[in-house]
Amino acid sequence: MLRDKPLTIATRTYFWKPAVALFRAIELEHYRRSKFNATYPILDLGCGDGTVAHILREAGLLQQRPIGIDISRTAVRRAKAMDEHLLIIHGDANHLPFQDNSFASIMCNGVLCSVPNGVERALSEINRVLMSGGVLVATVPTDKFADALVIPDLLSQMSERLRASYVNRWNRRHGHHSAYSPERWKEEFEKRGLTVESIYPFFFPRAGLLFGVLAMHVFRIFGLLRSIRNARFAGLAGRAWSCVFRTACLDPRTPGDKAGYVLIVGKKTQDLASSVESASSPY
């Protein structure tokens, strides 16, 4: 069962976007289970509009404000307006504009999968800017993500072409370039000097089915609710979604290899030579 606090925070924050609210509630619960405790200085790599940092702070899991970086100028502008970071920078995960050994912690929420042409360069850059013994916490999709959505399997009963078309459209829409098995993710981390200390699987078919339904175009009408800037309404709408989502959690009896996502905790144990020159300033 999802804990009340992650569920309440996610549904109140994303009351107008129920599919995202469901996913973030489950994701936030696994940050809690991992005992996520970032040590300053912190880099929020791929910070987006700042909402993930906001819900982590609200859940008591992010005690200090991180430095944020994102490749999207629109996201950078929105993150600055949200004011959850010490500093927001426009930049690329493959060419981080920081000196070596700048950060004790890096959080990378659903970002590594979105780096085109593989994760090798981004992980090498993460290794470079992490201090020795520094921690990387990342959430990434697995090769079972499409299966967890359930809908692709239903489509495959009619046509493999329909299934492939649905999955391809989904991956393009969400920027999924890399979705590896947990074992492959572990291998990619450790090739870059990042020892994987723990892996937390999440997003199983029960949640995936509901998520896939809520992500359908017909439910985008709830996006109109975003214009209602009233905390009381957001709380009421959030509680309504909480009732719907309460059982759409991870079934502890479900095998871990069915997970569509994993949260990975890695630690820098080895310095790697980088072909990227360090920037003259750490920030």
Half-sphere CA count of 111, side-chain side, radius 13 A: 26
Residue 87, in any domain of the structure: yes
Higher pLDDT, residue 51 or 37: 51
The pLDDT of residue 193 is above 90: yes
The pLDDT of residue 186 is above 90: yes
Residue 126, in any domain of the structure: yes
Q: What is the pLDDT, as a whole number, of residue 149?
A: 82
Q: What is the pLDDT, as a whole number, of residue 254?
A: 57
The count of residues in the chain is 283
Q: Calculate the dihedral angle through the C-alpha atoms of 41, 32, 226, 65, rounding to the nearest 10 degrees.
A: -10
Please state, in angstroms and rounded to a whole number, the distance separating the CA atoms of residues 85 and 64. Answer: 9
Half-sphere CA count of 96, side-chain side, radius 13 A: 29
Which residue reads 């439910």 in tokens? 219
Please state, in angstroms and rounded to a whole number, the distance separating the CA atoms of residues 29 and 31. Answer: 5
Q: What is the pLDDT, as a whole number, of residue 249?
A: 54
Which residue reads 């630690």 in tokens? 267
Q: What is the pLDDT, as a whole number, of residue 59?
A: 94
Residue 86, in any domain of the structure: yes
The pLDDT of residue 283 is above 50: no
Residue 161, in any domain of the structure: no
Residue 17, in any domain of the structure: no
* Per-residue pLDDT reduced to its tens digit, 16-44: 899 999 999 999 999 999 999 899 999 99
Higher pLDDT, residue 107 or 159: 107
Comparing 14-18, 222-226, 233-237, 242-246, the range with the smallest average pLDDT is 222-226
For all residues of the chain together, what is the average pLDDT?
A: 87
The pLDDT of residue 62 is above 80: yes
> Containing domain of residue 57, as a range?
34-148+176-204+250-268
| Structural domains counted in the chain | 1
Q: What is the phi-psi region of residue 150: left when phi exceeds 0, alpha when psi lies from -120 to 50, beta otherwise?
A: left
Q: What is the pLDDT, as a whole number, of residue 5?
A: 85
Characterize 102-136 residue by residue with b for buried, 16 or more Cβ atoms within 10 angstroms of its Cβ, and e for exposed.
bbbbbbbbbbbbbbeeebebbbbbbbbbbeeebbb
Higher pLDDT, residue 4 or 53: 53
Residue 58, in any domain of the structure: yes
CATH number of the domain that 42 lies in?
Answer: 3.40.50.150
Comparing 36-50, 195-209, 230-244, the range with the smallest average pLDDT is 230-244
Residue 196, in any domain of the structure: yes
Residue 14, in any domain of the structure: no
Q: What is the pLDDT, as a whole number, of residue 197?
A: 97
The pLDDT of residue 135 is above 90: yes
Confidence of residue 275 (pLDDT cuts 50, 70, 90): very low
Q: By percentage, how much of the chain surpasses pLDDT 90?
A: 57
Q: Tell me the mean pLDDT in the region 255-269.
A: 89
Q: pTM for the full model?
A: 0.88
- Chain centroid to Cα 136, Å, comes to 13
Beta bridge pairs of residue 184: none
Candidates 279, 224, 277, 263; CA nearest to 23 is 263
